[in-house]
Amino acid sequence: TVWIRFILIQNRAGKTRLAKWYMQFDDDEKQKLIEEVHAVVTVRDAKHTNFVEFRNFKIIYRRYAGLYFCICVDVTDNNLAYLEGIHNFVEVLNEYFHNVCELDLVFNFYKVYTVVDEMFLAGEIRETSQTKVLKQLLMLQSLE
Amino acid sequence: MPAVSKGDGMRGLAVFISDIRNCKSKEAEIKRINKELANIRSKFKGDKALDGYSKKKYVCKLLFIFLLGHDIDFGHMEAVNLLSSNKYTEKQIGYLFISVLVNSNSELIRLINNAIKNDLSSRNPTFMCLALHCIANVGSREMAEAFAGEIPRILVAGDTMDSVKQSAALCLLRLYKASPDLVLMGEWTSRVVHLLNDQHMRSILPLPHCLYPLDFNPSPPFLLQIVSSASTDLQDYTYYFVPAPWLSCKLLRLLQCYPPPEDGAVKGRLVECLETILNKAQEPPKSKKVQHSNAKNAILFEAISLIIHYDSEPNLLVRACNQLGQFLQHRETNLRYLALESMCTLASSEFSHEAVKTHIETVINALKTERDVSVRQRAADLLYAMCDRSNAKQIVAEMLSYLETADYSIREEMVLKVAILAEKYAVDYSWYVDTILNLIRIAGDYVSEEVWYRVIQIVINRDDVQGYAAKTVFEALQAPACHENMVKVGGYILGEFGNLIAGDPRSSPLVQFNLLHSKFHLCSVPTRALLLSAYIKFINLFPETKATIQEVLRSDSQIRNSDVELQQRAVEYLKLSSIASTDVLATVLEEMPPFPERESSILAKLKKKKGPGAVTVELEDGKERGELNGGGDRGGDASTPSPSADLLGLRSTAPVSGTTPSAGSLLVDVFSEAGPSATSAGVNDDGFLSSAPPTVASEDPAPPLPESDELLNKFVCKNNGVLFENQLLQIGIKSEYRQNLGRMYLFYGNKTSVQFVSFNTTVSCPGELQSHILQLEPLVEGGAQVQQVINIECLTDFIDAPLLNIKFRYGGALQNISLKLPVTINKFFQPTEMAAADFFQRWKQLSQPQQEAQKIFKASHGMDTEVLKAKLLGLGTALLENVDPNPENYVCAGVIQTKAQQVGCLLRLEPNAQAQVHTHKCILLDSMLIMCHQCKSILNSC
């Protein structure tokens, strides 16, 4: 089955702002993956594609200001669907955090996980409707 | 819309995060963290019971510290406590901590599972989702055991909220991936079908295909939904004016799991759907935003994948090609890339191949001008895929010129592709030779052994190109600086065919020799060894060079060379040339016989490097290669079953090339090492008639012989031997494996004096293996032996060995025999050396039940150390010495190479001498219990 192997949000300096793993990796391996992704993604410029081969997989990524949002999927997977999946996710974050910036992800790291789980689960796309996701997030926000 | 403020809810956390961010150095950060850890520890240990809020805050701080990359060794209990809070925010932090920092501490797992169980049965959708997300994020076997039964119930229950169902479906998927044996959908199937047939549920339920019931058949409304998804039900799912793009992609991808519908009406609906998608992609955009076009094109590309999957609608295929053609010059790099990639698969369809070819100029242009190397690579892939006889010269020329400036990362692959195309589409062999020599000239460093071996094989097998090849290499060697690979090819070809150009005084024997020898000192040892062989061949071809060459061989730098191989060759060649008569020399140094017909080793290499998409062209290439190589009708076929590595005899200690072992019909000659086992396989003698009595023989493949399993075991640790024997037929086998590829040479010996007619063999493989068998002539003469090559590729782990079925008529009676081919998973082992610390660290890491298997079994054949060692080595793993603290034990490590994955495997054998039993434990990264059985059978057969 085809699925997302991991989702990473990193800044240009290589600091991880979110790492979500959908496959078993040990800690060393995770660190290695994080560094490798950073190395392959940051050398690319706007004239390059948003896709890059990575080990036996591929990374679909998009840069927003200083942040790289990267999704690692199977080589046969639909590039554009995941590329827009990233954008959809970013739009939700933007709405939820009201003009999201890197600091929001730092200070509210535990909420970012909630947003991710609403939209991606078990390596699959769970919910793509921004309306539904935001409604659910606001409901959760109201809970104590 | 209200937004969350920074760190709301937990001031202390926000302050801590700010402090960390303000730290000027790593040291300061560590200091601040240690201070915080001490603080949290004292709070957790303190007498005063912490309230939920504080607990949440501290657990969250610990989590933050962990995410910064520091180890956390406490707080797990407090996190587990949070799970039973009835406040959402506390529960959420508890679950998050568990999901991120999970370790299989069994005691905690029990507590965690308890908390999850409570939340799952709470009927509070928020809590249920938290619990489901935790299971989905952790996905451990323990959790699968605890909840695999419960989750399907939640999924199909009528009163479960949609959002909970979404989570339950994916949660089930995660458990299915981790422990497929535990997720049994059986009793829920009918209710899942019910869900699938409900359009609303299908829209929101991301039910992955592996959970679909086996007999699920996509129905017309199911298909219709793909295009009609503009319905109000899906309004929330419209993304930049595109209705439900992800759902559409998902449904289109799902259909790729099924063959085209058989029902004509349904098929018609489907074609209509696909046409609508192609039409919609052509409509003027509803927005200028890239999101709009991306979402639309995501659907388009997925639809094209489906069209290619069906490969039955010429109109759609050609339309798809035309629409992709528009993207080839789009200003979006992404679209150009994807169009090239998608066209590559279209090129392999007979319906769209011609349509793809019309874009050749654009693609060549892309190869030359694209800035992104990955786009250029796709262009090269596409050129390769669209290549056929009509455009081969143009494409090869373009690829060669691209090679001069190509990125280092893709040169090797480009070289392989050029070499394959040149061989495949060579109409005249001079073009082929020119192309390969050009390759060596332009990218010599990237020309692998396989490539230059191949050009030599072809030149040797084609006598019409030998003279041209000799002339061309001679010219190429004139260059002051030429690549060592050129020297190798030149040395070999002139050594064989230099006589064909010796008539021209400009390339007289002595000139040829001097030219070669001028390169000698710049070359590496293997090339020098090759040149020495060329020299001795010169002595035979041109007696007038004998004195000069003997002089060279006699020089100290040869005869006293510190390299033992060179010294040996010099000494032996010198001696040979001085004592052997002309006749003996001529026999020993005879021209090389033609090479046996087989799959191009280059192709094998490219397949190994690339996924299936890149090598579609050679599927039908058997025939054409036959033409090129001139077939094996010049005899000597059975004589050189050795892999190409031995082509030049560089690695063999016997320096004399050109002689081949006799291709006698005595099978034992071929299997000198298999002598003893030939007798042990004799058990089949009396089993033959009963297994396929002529009177009841049917045309269907016979069931495998009862003793096949036992035979299989015999070959677990060895690759050569007699596979089968009865009064009529003997089958010998020689096999070799590299990474996930295997090659088997089967030798069928007709033991009778009567010919076998309609001799036919087939191999049926389990899906995890892929085999390619070169067919034989239907006649096997009495007393003759024929050789057959079977190539095997291991796609993923497997249990069942491929079946070989042999059918032939002997005196009119049909013989029908099925055998298991001795392909076992351990053949794809790559030994791995590791130190003790490393070994045990890994050993401990792989401690989940599905990752290990253990067997205790009787050592039925004694416990001799050396025998056991030999058996374990035969298994293909590395036997690790001085690793296990107990010297009695054996530990091994290896990596199983399959196409899909590489699975590390650790193995420990603990002999118990008193009880005469072995405890054998095998640790794997995947559930391949089969290994355990195999090890057992190996050791049992000791």
- pLDDT category at B657 given cuts 50, 70, 90 is very low
Give Cβ neighbours of residue B618 (< 8 Å, ≥ 6 apart): B420, B424, B603
The pLDDT score that the predictor gives to residue B600 is 67
> Per-residue pLDDT averaged across B259-274, rounded?
87
The pLDDT score that the predictor gives to residue B848 is 65
Residue (of B757, B750, B756, B746) closest to B802 by Cα position? B746
Q: Indicate whether B751 pLDDT > 60.
A: yes
Q: Residue B782 corresponds to which tokens in the numbers above? A: 């009495």
The pLDDT score that the predictor gives to residue B257 is 83
- Whether the model pTM is above 0.95: no
**CB-CB neighbors (< 8 A) of B381 in chain A:** none
Report the alpha-carbon distance of residue B491 to residue B484 in Å, rounded.
10
Report the alpha-carbon distance of residue B591 to residue B611 in Å, rounded.
39
With residue A52 as reference, give the H or E element that holds it: strand A51-54
Which position has the higher pLDDT, B663 or B787?
B787
Q: Indicate whether B376 pLDDT > 60.
A: yes
Q: Indicate whether B603 pLDDT > 70.
A: yes
**CB-CB neighbors (< 8 A) of A80 in chain B:** 294-295, 297-298, 301, 334, 338
The pLDDT score that the predictor gives to residue B796 is 80
Q: How would you class B284 by CB atoms within 10 Å of its CB: exposed for 0-12, middle for 13-18, buried for 19 or more? A: exposed
Q: Indicate whether B674 pLDDT > 50.
A: no
Residue (of A4, A120, A123, A124) closest to A61 by Cα position? A4
Q: Indicate whether B476 pLDDT > 60.
A: yes
Give the long-range contacts of residues B44-47, CB within 8 A, separation 24 or more: B44/B74, B44/B75, B44/B78
> Per-residue pLDDT averaged across B435-464, rounded?
90
The pLDDT score that the predictor gives to residue B8 is 56
Across A95-116, b (16+ Cβ under 10 Å) vs e yields bbbeebbeebbbbbbbbbbbbb
**CB-CB neighbors (< 8 A) of B208 in chain A:** 1, 3, 124
- Range from B190-199, B571-580, B910-919 carrying the lowest mean pLDDT: B910-919
Start-to-end CA distance of chain A, whole Å, equals: 38
The pLDDT score that the predictor gives to residue B435 is 95
- pLDDT category at B619 given cuts 50, 70, 90 is very low
**CB-CB neighbors (< 8 A) of B250 in chain A:** 125
The pLDDT score that the predictor gives to residue B436 is 94
Q: Tell me which amino acid residue B746 is.
A: L
Contact B669, B661 (CB under 8 A): yes
**CB-CB neighbors (< 8 A) of A26 in chain B:** 845
The pLDDT score that the predictor gives to residue A46 is 87
Report the alpha-carbon distance of residue B732 to residue B721 in Å, rounded.
6
Report the alpha-carbon distance of residue A104 to residue A97 in Å, rounded.
7
The pLDDT score that the predictor gives to residue B850 is 62
Q: Indicate whether B546 pLDDT > 70.
A: yes
Which position has the higher pLDDT, B713 or B552?
B552
Q: Can you say how many angstroms the Cα of residue A134 is from the centroid of all Cα atoms in its chain?
A: 17
- pLDDT category at B743 given cuts 50, 70, 90 is confident
Residue (of B396, B415, B471) closest to B606 by Cα position? B415
> Per-residue pLDDT averaged across B496-509, rounded?
94
Report the alpha-carbon distance of residue B307 to residue B473 in Å, rounded.
48
Question: Rounded mean pLDDT of chain B?
Answer: 80
Residue (of B338, B336, B337, B358) closest to B347 by Cα position? B358
Q: Which of residues 823-852 of B touch A (CB under 8 A)?
A: 845
With residue B210 as reference, give the H or E element that holds it: none
Contact B864, B939 (CB under 8 A): no
Report the alpha-carbon distance of residue B484 to residue B331 in Å, rounded.
43
Cβ–Cβ contact B66 with A under 8 A: no
Q: Indicate whether B939 pLDDT > 60.
A: no
- pLDDT category at B599 given cuts 50, 70, 90 is low
- Please give the DSSP secondary-structure letter assigned to residue B831: E
Which position has the higher pLDDT, B544 or B787?
B544
Report the alpha-carbon distance of residue B37 to residue B33 in Å, rounded.
6
**Chains A and B: how many Cβ contacts under 8 Å?**
159
Report the alpha-carbon distance of residue B640 to residue B638 in Å, rounded.
6
3-state secondary structure B496-549: HHHHHHCCCHHHCHHHHHHHHHHHHCCCCHHHHHHHHHHHHHHHHHCHHHHHHH
- Range from A37-51, B340-354, B433-447, B710-724 carrying the lowest mean pLDDT: B710-724
CA trace torsion B281, B285, B291, B293 (10° rounding): 30
Give Cβ neighbours of residue B613 (< 8 Å, ≥ 6 apart): B344, B345, B381
Contact A60, A82 (CB under 8 A): yes
Sheet holding B729-738, edge to edge: B720-725, B729-738, B741-750, B785-794, B769-773
Q: Can you say how many angstroms the Cα of residue B364 is from the centroid of all Cα atoms in its chain?
A: 29
Contact B760, B767 (CB under 8 A): no
Start-to-end CA distance of chain B, whole Å, equals: 74
- Range from B128-137, B194-203, B274-283 carrying the lowest mean pLDDT: B194-203
Cross-strand bridge partners of residue B920: B855, B909
Radius of gyration of chain B, Cα coordinates, nearest whole angstrom? 34
> Per-residue pLDDT averaged across B150-175, rounded?
90
Q: Indicate whether B232 pLDDT > 70.
A: no
Q: Which among A110, A130, A131 is the top mutation candidate for probing chain B, defined by the most B β-carbons within 10 Å of its own β-carbon? A: A110
The pLDDT score that the predictor gives to residue B679 is 33
Which position has the higher pLDDT, B354 or B627?
B354
Q: Which of B176-190, B334-348, B416-430, B739-753 has the highest mean pLDDT?
A: B334-348
Report the alpha-carbon distance of residue B688 to residue B686 in Å, rounded.
5
Radius of gyration of chain A, Cα coordinates, nearest whole angstrom? 15
Which position has the higher pLDDT, B898 or B289?
B289
Which position has the higher pLDDT, B825 or B699?
B825
- Please give the DSSP secondary-structure letter assigned to residue B5: P
Q: Residue B558 corresponds to which tokens in the numbers above? A: 């040869």
> Per-residue pLDDT averaged across B663-679, rounded?
31
Which position has the higher pLDDT, B869 or B112?
B112
The pLDDT score that the predictor gives to residue B226 is 61
- Please give the DSSP secondary-structure letter assigned to residue B567: H
Q: Which of residues 558-617 of B touch A (CB under 8 A)?
A: 611
Inter-chain contact A110–B173, Cβ cutoff 8 Å? no
Inter-chain contact B171–A134, Cβ cutoff 8 Å? no
- Given a cut of 50, the residues of chain A with pLDDT beneath it are none
The pLDDT score that the predictor gives to residue B768 is 79
- pLDDT category at B787 given cuts 50, 70, 90 is confident
The pLDDT score that the predictor gives to residue A140 is 95
Q: Indicate whether B489 pLDDT > 80.
A: yes
Contact B747, B731 (CB under 8 A): yes
- pLDDT category at B662 given cuts 50, 70, 90 is very low
Inter-chain contact A80–B338, Cβ cutoff 8 Å? yes
Give Cβ neighbours of residue B747 (< 8 Å, ≥ 6 apart): B638, B667, B670, B731, B732, B733, B734, B785, B786, B787, B788
With residue A117 as reference, give the H or E element that holds it: helix A109-119
- Please give the DSSP secondary-structure letter assigned to residue B906: E
Q: Indicate whether B1 pLDDT > 50.
A: no
With residue B640 as reference, give the H or E element that holds it: none
Q: How would you class B171 by CB atoms within 10 Å of its CB: exposed for 0-12, middle for 13-18, buried for 19 or more? A: buried
Q: Indicate whether B664 pLDDT > 50.
A: no
Q: How would you class B81 by CB atoms within 10 Å of its CB: exposed for 0-12, middle for 13-18, buried for 19 or more? A: middle
The pLDDT score that the predictor gives to residue B29 is 95
Contact A73, A5 (CB under 8 A): yes
Cβ–Cβ contact B345 with A under 8 A: no
Q: Indicate whether B942 pLDDT > 90.
A: no
Give Cβ neighbours of residue B783 (< 8 Å, ≥ 6 apart): B665, B750, B751, B752, B753
Q: Tell me the torsion sign for CA atoms B658, B664, B668, B674.
A: positive
Q: Indicate whether B672 pLDDT > 50.
A: no
Instruction: Search chain A and give the residue with CA nearest B131.
Output: A117
> Per-residue pLDDT averaged across B699-712, rounded?
68
The pLDDT score that the predictor gives to residue B642 is 33
